[in-house]
Amino acid sequence: MVQAMRLDEIKIGTRHRKDLDDITELAKSIDELGLLQPIVVTEKCDLLAGNRRYRACGMLGWEQLDFLCLCGLPERHRTV
């Protein structure tokens, strides 16, 4: 189920992808169309997927973001 949470509640942590490219176009698309795919977090609010979307929504001044929670995910699959 898709829910919403405050951006400041999401824990980013160390990311594999270092280069986020230019997220200006993504922010423009989200501004025009909305967030079509929610980010994915753990039950402890650790970001698993959607760092670019998270950053783009932050650029737009959003305070809340839609997310899916992968609860009960084994620790070995929580690498971000």
Among residues 57, 55, 45, which one has the least CA distance to residue 9?
45
Percent of the chain with pLDDT over 70: 90
Which tops the pLDDT comparison, 77 or 29? 29
The strand pairing partners of 49, in sequence order, are 40
What digits encode the pLDDT tens for the residues 5-61?
999 999 998 777 777 788 999 999 999 999 999 999 988 899 999 999 999 999 999
